Structure 1
Amino acid sequence: MRSIVTKALLAASLSPLAMAAQPAVAQGVITAADDRASGDADATIIVTGTRRADRTVADSPVPVDVITADSLQTSGYTETNRLLNEQVPSFNFPQPSITDGTDVVRPATLRGLDPDQTLVLINGKRRHTSALLNINGSVGRGTAAVDINLIPSIAIGRVEVLRDGAAAQYGSDAIAGVINFQLRDAPEGGRITATYGEYNTNVRGIRDVTRVLTGANGAPLLNPDGTLQVERASEDRHRVDGRTLTIAGTVGLPIGDGGHLNLSAEYQGRDPTNRTGPDVRRQYSLINGALDPRELTFDRYSHRYGDAKTDDLKFFMNFGAPIADEAELYGYLTYGYRDGESAGFYRLASDARNVPAIYPDGFLPLINSDLNDFEGVLGVKGEVGGWRYDLSGSYGRNAFDFFITNTLNRSFGPASQRAFDSGGLRYTQAMGNLDVSRDLEVGFFKNLTLAGGLEYRRETFRIRPGEPASYANGPAGGAPGAQVFPGFNPIIGGQRVDQERARHNFSAYAELDADVNDRVNLQLAGRYEDYSDFGSSLNGKLAARFEVVDGLALRGAISTGFRAPSLQQQFYAAQATNNVNGVLLDTVTLPVDNPVAVALGATPLDAEKSLSYSAGIVFTAVPRLNVTIDAYQIDIDDRIVVTENLAATRDAAGNPSGADPGRSIAQILNNAGFNTVSAARFFVNGLDSRTKGIDAVATYRFDLGAWGRVSATAGFNYNKTTIRRVLAAPGPLANIPGLVLFGRQEQGRLVRGQPRTKINLGFDYDLDRFGLTFRANRYGKVEATGGEIGGTGSGVFNDNFLKAQWVADAEARFTFAERFEIAVGANNIFDSYPTPVPVGLAGVSAANGSNVFFPTTNYVAPFSNYSPNGFNGRFIYARAAVKF
């Protein structure tokens, strides 16, 4: 079906290119300054989803949201991802914890699809992704996405969010849509802001432990799940933490006659938050049947569960200058640095992975990360002979390094180091682009724009090995490698994995945008791409808009798309400890060409392929009121996913034992030398999915005369994903009884791990020097689907159902002396929390009738990583700003 649609769309889009036509007089480009001066939101000129120079929001045949710079400044949060989460209904930004590097590079999603299925642009140019692969238990598991939080909000002129498939126009990744960040380009003026805030919250359901209960002989009193009985305080735990200071500035300077240079910088220092619950597990071994006395004084809040500690520094330079008649030299430079610190699970004093001689009370291993990011773009654009052209080149690089402290390598015993350089990841992207467009005169069209272009892209990915002690298996035996994050081993399964991997691709596209008359617009696009690793792809798009009567229009689109497998998905290799339904597993992630992965059945990855439909209405008949409603369906075939953790079972001597599938997997791993590895996983084109939804957005602006001005917005998204097909176990895995390649937990993450519905409400009021903003967001129910607990066949699962949650923000601000502004406010002003994870009895095993309990790690991680607004509570802030 997709192949037929692609060929039809390509034929429709490319055949008109042979038409001979006389060029029309080139239309003048309407600048952002002209648009702002008009004050008409419907007249906003957009540059995303079209190559025309005069396309407006209201006239677009596909939905495009425009978020202004002013709206990004009226929040206590300064992270760009959080700001978008407050204002875009189909945007989701959960904030997971205890997920290694994902704690400091948190991915976001659009329309419920994966983070890497949304294309991110800056000034219309493809942004490079992070080197980090999100491999642990979070939304977006198995993806490497753009780190949007590296884009400082103060550098942004506006954000355009195209909510429609656009791979035929922009290439790989644009399945869910496109987010285009337009940088500030004013030739004068500026702004300096200082924002300070902190969380001041009562953590719902989490209460201080006042004492541990024991029997008369000092023996522990236990709950049915084996945890210690404790006495708790009567009130929820009060926390003041996460202190955040953001200092940012931007300035615009003229260059020559009509040029601009914009410099923007931002520093953000954020202390960690901690929403852990008390660890009521026994920390020490019993002494003659009685509790170790240290058990009574141990700090039960030993974990760190919340936002990581981070220090960010970002610098953006955006410039444009005329260099000749009808020509402009332009470009931008960006640099970002982030120093992060997050934690893993606490290693108990009695844990076999601990060395009591080093940590007699156990230890909390810390993951310190260094992120360095750079991008440069240089281009020239102008007009020659009626053709508008844009020739550019770009280079981007992202480096992510791990340094593990407060830890040890158990296999070296008391001689172990306590800190390790565990290595890092490197990703680069180099591009060259040529885009041309021309307005043509064709008799039966009112307006016709022809566009086309060429692109070359080269990507590289490399693993930097850690120091040998970070991954080595020492003489003392036990778990090898630095606890919480073993270093990257240069050799895994007999294969060197630290060599640079590279690929390149060429692409060509053509696009037609035609106004048949005053009421009908048609848009056709076709694109061909050829990759050096997996082959070629053809994609097409057809979109149309019909204005039935003045102020009421119908629109729709059909398109095919694709997403190339990332180099990270193809070649990432690492060994780490993961929490899988309360059990800590030493897990290895294998490249698809690794001999061990091939032995398990891995094959080269192919591109994901999509077929998208959308249809909607646009209502603008009432002055200053704009309403859009769009329905969509997105089918994705050969979706790339990481397999379940294929767990091995062994006896005390390390030999394969027990029943399949664990026994056979252990045999394969042992044959490859992975005798201590508990589980393995790799990437596959694992499933076909279908996503259906509705987006509705309404804005209304009205003037109250002497009483001020009001702007109100409302947005709604309904989104549902279903799985149409799951890949059968490949190769040798197909012969292992009971093996599940992509099971209930991972399927649940895709289809139920994000809000089914989301509502955004916004209200802005301005009266002279006073302003007020109120926002409310409702996140629909989420199901955090867990794996089976209590043994195979128990029928009891580690599930958590998150109820719908309202989160409200409010800000008041005052301007004096025309240029100084002060503001105070609160995000999550009513201190709302998501539904806590369950603890205690989970059910009765269908296999043997015994009681099954939720993992005891649920006590220390009391809220789900899937929580769409995080789990930090109320954030109170103040901001001072000066404009010049």
Structure 2
Amino acid sequence: MNTNVLAICWLLSATAFAQNIRGRVTDESTKSPLPGATIVVVGQQLGTTTNGEGDFSLKLTPGPYTLRISSIGFESLDQAVTVEASGTTTVNLALKPTQTSLSEVMVVGSRNLNRSVTDSPAPIDIIDVRQVTSKMGQLDVNQLLQFVAPSFNSNRQTGSDGADHVDPASLRGLGPDQTLVLINGKRQHQSSLVTLFGTRGRGNTGTDLNTIPAAAIERIEILRDGAAAQYGSDAIAGVINIVLKTSTNQLTANVNYGAYQAKYRFDNQKFDGGNLNVNANYGWRIGKTGFLNVTGDYNQRDHTNRANTPGIDSTLQRRQYGDSKITNSSFYANAQIPLTTNTNIYAFGGINARKGDAYAWTRAADSDRNIPSIYPDGFDPIITSKILDGTFAAGVRTNFRGWNVDFGNIFGSNRFDYGVKNTLNASMGPSSPREFNAGGFQLQQNVTGLHFTRFYKNTLQGLNIAFGSEFRYEDYKIFAGEEASYRAYDITKAAGSQGFPGFQPSNELNKSRTNLGLYVDGEIDITKAFMVGAAARYENYSDFGSTLNGKLSSRLTISPAFMLRGTLSTGFRAPSLAQTYFNSTITNFVGGQAVQVQIAQSGSAITQALGVPPLKQETSLNASLGFTSQLGSGFSLTVDAYYVRIKDRIVLTGQFSDDLPAISDALKALNVSRVQFFTNAISTRTRGIDIVLAHHTQLGNGRLNTSLGMNFNSLDTTSVNTNAKLKPYKDLYFDLREYYFVKASAPPSKMNLTIDYSINKWAFLLRFVRFGEVKLANWSYKSDELDIYKPKVTTDLSVSYRFTPQVGLSIGGSNILNVYPDMHRADLTESGGAWDPVQMGINGAYWFGKLNFRF
């Protein structure tokens, strides 16, 4: 009884002392109210949303609080407030707009910490990952960027060995290894995989963006400009900087599931490729300015199968053709610990473990590579992968006598282990195992950097000076598979595991190199309207020597609504260790004698016998010219034209056989029947233009954001660089198919129209993506029989609703009209299916649902 009385008295007392806090949330740029904005009291299960006039109210007991205000299409804001003991506390808040698709900011591309979007000399896109992933179906970083950024391209491949497990990606139609990837501004390591097959990234290494979970990312910044003079090797096409989350005192969690609508499937199964993703993110505050933010992410993706398409002879097709099955688990962390008011220790990184199953080409029942007693109906080998990827960075930032100093180290490792199952070694007969360990490779990288930056605000209108150095160590290994994965036990039969023959002991190696880079750059605002910048970078590699590159940039503000900008730079890309040292061997028997089919490493006895020089760096000349404009209330337009000339691009040649007269004796003397190799074979020229038009306005009681992004791109091969001995075989050195693979690294045009409307607790998104025509040469090797993939448009639609400030749901679809590329003859395409991996992909419509939680 007494307990009940005390409880009632406590409730009455709490109600009596509770005070109103009222406020209004507005759009900072237009000053208009924001209906449907979410206000959460950090650390408590309290919250509300704004009404149609942008107003809100809460009842809180007196004391200090932190309010977190968020609205789709705007940057979140944390606001400290104190509720007084009497009267009503009023607070007015303004949110900065973002874009669901693209918006311009100045983060990468300049070391001037005072540089803003309005005076950027180079085009930069920012993708707010939380805004995009909360509405659309794409879960991994590559697919997210594929449908958001017009200059970015990535397609999943099938029947392409390692490329089925690591999606190659590119900017502005250049190679995957010509884009530099940073995490929190630090150089990220590449994948250990060099792509040998498929129509994307052929002969290239690249960075595996999917090792970093989207749930750990705050935003992705894309610098669409050559920047090797600023950041070093690989930045010919541009730079992608991934910024990890720094939020604290908020738990966010997501449960996502989706599947593809299987329009083409021989067994009439209606859906496949189920994709489950579960993730959670939380941050703790450390001191006044420190934090620890952690993310756990699990993703399970099943196979799709688009084999046996109608109208195509089933005997000419693979029986399994579609996306690989992937299980991806990640843990990432980002931290900063304040030591003094001027000094912070930082650390970030994570680990990613991936297992994959990918379809290899079908072996028919009557094939000499089959053992009928094991597989009476033939078999479909499965190439498996175990990929372990890790990154760890740590350092200290301080201010020393006016200089901002950053001393840090980042270490990265990528290991790729191959396996093959549902297969056999035909030379072992009926006793053959059905599963093999096929070996693999590993790449490790360590970068230590010391950077200085200082801004002189009283020199003209501002002068920024930056200089520093980086020392990089890289190590590359190849390790052999088990003996049965490569050996021939019966010389009259095919050797090794079918689907993927294992690496042999003769392929094993452990190679390393070092690199020292020194740079200096400066930017000066001569007037408030006119800025010029210059950068220079010297690098010395232990394996091929030195390179010096420079960059000039400028910005001229004509009026508050119009600005011109441009850059001119030289660049380079060092050959990767994988391109330099990768080698593999397949043993065939001719007339009872073992002969080798090889991918020979640079500088080997074979390449020396053929007169092939060692690999050297690719070099480039980049130029861009553009403008930004405010066309009126809520309208913005950016247009940037670019030119990229690259000399000595590295490609993988076709196979040279020992029956070619000019080289027959050299190959036979080395007991090699066929050979191919990496070489600086071609020079290319790329011309293009990027256009981004954005508009935001108040529409009724809601907010409408619209953006149109377009990329037009043209790549031409200007020369093929052969040596004297191989000059008669120029068309084999870089053949018709390879020419079209390089040319089709990106569609010649890509357009993205996004319409995003939010009102109260609802949000609606409609997106159209148009992919331009792609042409590929097929196995017929005839220029008049190209596979032409005509322009296609995909349509994405989603509807989102917030039940409470803490719980929201999104449902929708990507490519909801179930559009596919044009079909072609499966026996002639590179991939062995009715489509190559072009444009929007081969899987059709994808339907999804997402539950998200914020506490």
Matched position secondary structure for 2:378? coil
Deviations 1:446-503 (A, max 9, x none): 0111111110000010001111111112135222111111111121xxxxx3121000
Shift of 1:746: 0.7
Matched, 1:695 2:690: yes
* Aligned residue among 126, 132, 135 for 2:193: 132
Aligned to 2:726: 733
Are the aligned partners of 2:256 and 2:278 in contact in 1 as well (CA < 8 Å)?
yes
- Is 1:390 aligned with 2:447? no
User: For residue 463 of structure 1, what is the aligned residue in structure 2?
Assistant: 478
Q: Which residue of 1 aligns with 2:261?
A: 200
The 3 A distance-change label for structure 1 pair 513 and 58 is: same
Residue in structure 2 matched with residue 354 of structure 1 by the alignment: 370
Aligned mates of 2:731, 2:703 — CA distance in 1: 62
**Alignment partner, residue 820 of structure 1:** 807
In the other structure, the counterpart of 1:872 is: 843
Q: CA 1:360–1:41 in 2, change beyond 3 Å: closer, same or farther? A: closer
The one-letter code matched in structure 2 to 1:697 is V
Q: CA deviation at 1:105?
A: 0.2
SS in 1 for 2:478: strand
Q: Report the CA distance between 1:628 and its aligned residue.
A: 0.3
1:832 matched to which residue of 2?
819
Partner of 2:749: 757
Letter in 2 for 1:55: R
Which residue does 2:544 correspond to in 1?
534
**Is residue 526 of structure 2 the alignment partner of residue 516 of structure 1?**
yes
Q: Deviations over 1:250-304 (max 9, x none)?
A: 1111112221111011100011000012698797xxxxxxxxxxxxxxxx98622
What is the CA-CA distance between 1:389 and the residue it aligns to? 0.7
Higher share of residues assigned strand:
2
Residue 57, structure 1, aligned to residue 117, structure 2: yes
Contact 1:45 1:55 in 2 (8 A): no
Structure 2 residues without counterparts, runs of 5 or longer = 1-74, 80-92, 589-594
Task: Provide the residue aligned with 1:275 in structure 2.
Answer: 306
Structure 2 vs 1, CA of residues 123 and 620 (structure 1 numbering), >3 Å: closer, same or farther?
same
Tell me what 1:167 maps to: 228
| 1:605 aligns with one of 594, 609, 615 | 615
1:275-314 maps to which residues of 2 (within 5 A)?
275-277=306-308, 303-314=319-330
The correspondence for 2:173, drawn from 92, 109, 112, is 112
| Cα drift, residue 306 of structure 1 | 1.1
Please tell me whether residue 190 in structure 1 is matched to residue 235 in structure 2: no
Q: Within 2, Cα distance between the matches of 1:646 and 1:633?
A: 34
1:857 shift after superposition: 7.1
1:778 maps to: 770
2:630 is aligned with 1:620? yes
Asked whether the 8 Å contact 1:756–1:782 carries over to 2, the reply is yes
Question: For 1:100 and 1:860, how far apart are their aligned partners in 2?
Answer: 13
Could you say which residue in structure 2 is the equivalent of 1:571? Answer: 581
Paired residues, number = 757
Q: Compared with structure 1, are the counterparts of its residues 788 and 665 closer, same or farther at alpha carbon in structure 2 (3 Å cutoff)?
A: farther
Q: Which residue of structure 1 aligns with residue 792 of structure 2?
A: 805
Check if 1:146 corresponds to 2:138: no
Q: What displacement does 1:137 show?
A: 2.4
Report what 1:94 is aligned to.
155
Give 2:678's aligned amino acid: F
| Gap change, CA 1:302 and 1:114, over 3 Å in 2 | closer
Which residue identity is paired with 1:763? Answer: I
Query: Would you say the 8 A contact 1:278–1:859 is kept in 2?
Result: no
Following superposition of structure 1 onto structure 2, how do residues 400-799 of structure 1 map, counting pairs within 5 Å? 400-441=416-457, 443=459, 445-491=460-506, 497-575=507-585, 588-647=598-657, 661=660, 668-674=666-672, 679-706=674-701, 708-728=702-722, 730=723, 732-734=725-727, 740-788=732-780, 799=786
1:58, distance to aligned residue in structure 2 (A)? 2.5
Is residue 641–residue 685 contact of structure 1 (8 Å, CA) maintained in 2? yes
TM-score by length of 2: 0.85
Quote the residue 2:58 is aligned against.
none
Q: Is the 8 A contact 1:602 1:682 kept in 2?
A: no
Across the aligned residues of Structure 1 and Structure 2, the Cα RMSD in angstroms comes to 2.5
SS at 2:197's partner residue? coil
Q: How far, CA to CA, are the matches of 1:426 and 1:460 in structure 2?
A: 8
User: Map of 1:339-350 to 2, 5 A cutoff?
Assistant: 339-350=355-366
Q: Please tell me the residue identity of whatever aligns with 2:715.
A: T
- Contact 1:409–1:416 (CA<8 Å) still a contact in 2? yes
Question: Residue type of the partner of 2:670?
Answer: A
Three-state SS of the structure 2 residue aligned to 1:764 is strand
Please say if 1:39 is aligned against 2:96: yes
Contact 1:412–1:477 (8 Å) recurs in 2: no
Cα gap change, 1:176/1:372 in structure 2, threshold over 3 Å: closer, same or farther? same
String of CA shifts for 1:386-437, please: whole Å, max 9, x gaps. Answer: 0001110111000000011111122222232221110011000001011111
1:215 is aligned to: none
Q: Which amino acid aligns with 1:876?
A: W
Find the aligned partners of 1:529 and 1:374 in 2 and give their Cα distance: 26
SS in 1 for 2:726: helix
In structure 1, list runs of 5 or more residues that go unmatched. 1-30, 209-236, 284-299, 492-496, 579-584, 649-655, 790-794, 840-854
Distance (whole Å) between structure 2 residues aligned to residue 669 and residue 681 of structure 1: 12
Counterpart-to-counterpart distance in 1, 2:463 and 2:686: 33
Q: Deviations over 1:122-176 (max 9, x none)?
A: 1000110000111112211011100011111111111111000000100000000
Asked if the contact 1:824/1:879 (under 8 Å) is kept, the reply is yes
Name the CA distance, whole Å, in 2 between partners of 1:813 and 1:618: 32
Q: Is the 8 A contact 2:693 2:707 kept in 1?
A: yes
| Residues 278 and 860, structure 1, Cα contact 8 Å, conserved in 2 | no
Deviation at 1:86, TM superposition (A): 1.0
Which residue in the other structure is 1:324 paired with? 340
Deviation of residue 73 (structure 1)?
2.7
8 A contact 1:187–1:259 mirrored in 2: no
Could you tell me which amino acid in structure 2 is paired with residue 273 of structure 1?
T
Aligned pair in 2 of structure 1 residues 375, 858: CA closer, same or farther (>3 Å)? closer
Q: Which amino acid aligns with 2:231?
A: Y
2:811 maps to amino acid: V
Structure 1 position 856, deviation (Å): 6.3
SS in 1 for 2:277: strand
Report the AA paired with residue 673 of structure 1. N
Deviations 1:496-529 (A, max 9, x none): x312100000011111111111111111111110
- Taking a change above 3 Å as real, the CA distance of residues 539 and 786 of structure 1, as seen in their structure-2 partners, is same
Give the distance between the partners of 1:302 and 1:739, measured in 2 at CA. Answer: 29
Aligned partner of 2:711: which letter? N
1:227-242 to structure 2, matched below 5 A, reads 239-242=270-273
Q: Contact 2:411–2:446 (CA<8 Å) still a contact in 1?
A: yes
Work out whether residues 778 and 829 of structure 2, in 8 Å CA contact, stay in contact via their aligned partners in 1. Answer: no
Letter of the 1:821 counterpart: G
Alpha-carbon contact 1:713-1:762 (below 8 Å) kept:
yes
Q: Secondary structure at the match of 2:714?
A: strand
Identity of aligned residues (%): 35
1:573-609 CA-partner distances (Å, limit 9, x unpaired): 124699xxxxxx9953110122123223322101000
Q: What TM-score, normalized by structure 1, do the two folds share? A: 0.82
* Pair 58,190 (structure 1): closer, same or farther in 2 beyond 3 Å: farther
Partner of 1:222: none
